Amino acid sequence: MPGRFDPDDDHDDRPRRRPSRYRPPPRSPKSRAAYMVFGLFLGPTGLHNFYAGRTLTGCFQLAVFLPSLLLTLVLIGLVPLAVLWLWSLLEVFVVSRDGDGLTMH
């Protein structure tokens, strides 16, 4: 009967849309804003890299930071601390992916 609803009727005059094959790239659950805050305030310690899952870089920064902190008593440690601050500032503005290569949101 025309006009009656039939749930088994697949006939539809409208053209069907094909499902899109585009999938957005996966995103990291980590926040870029938190990464930037950690990097700006605690940059030489490498904490921002531990947060992002970049543990090797974070370990290296921490390994340079701790002795240079002790060496500031004799003013030799100021140079490595300055280098670490510049390094962390550069990372804060350049790095946008976490340790797994996913874009931070």
Provide the pLDDT for residue 57: 97
pLDDT in tens, 55-100: 999 999 999 999 999 999 999 999 999 999 999 999 999 999 999 9
Burial of 12 (0-12, 13-18, 19+ CB in 10 A): exposed
Would you state the structure tokens that stand for residue 25, as one six-digit string? 């790239």
pLDDT in tens, 3-18: 566 665 556 666 677 7
Query: Quick check: is 5 in a domain?
Result: no
Query: Quick check: is 56 in a domain?
Result: yes
Domain count, the chain: 1
> In the chain, count of helices (H) and strands (E)?
4, 2
Domain of 92, in residue numbers: 28-96
Query: Quick check: is 104 in a domain?
Result: no
Query: Quick check: is 43 in a domain?
Result: yes
Query: pTM of this prediction?
Result: 0.76
- Contacts of residue 74, defined as CB under 8 A and 6 or more positions apart, other chains included, come to none
Query: Quick check: is 4 in a domain?
Result: no
Query: Quick check: is 23 in a domain?
Result: no
Query: Quick check: is 18 in a domain?
Result: no
Q: CA angle 68-78-51, nearest 5°?
A: 55
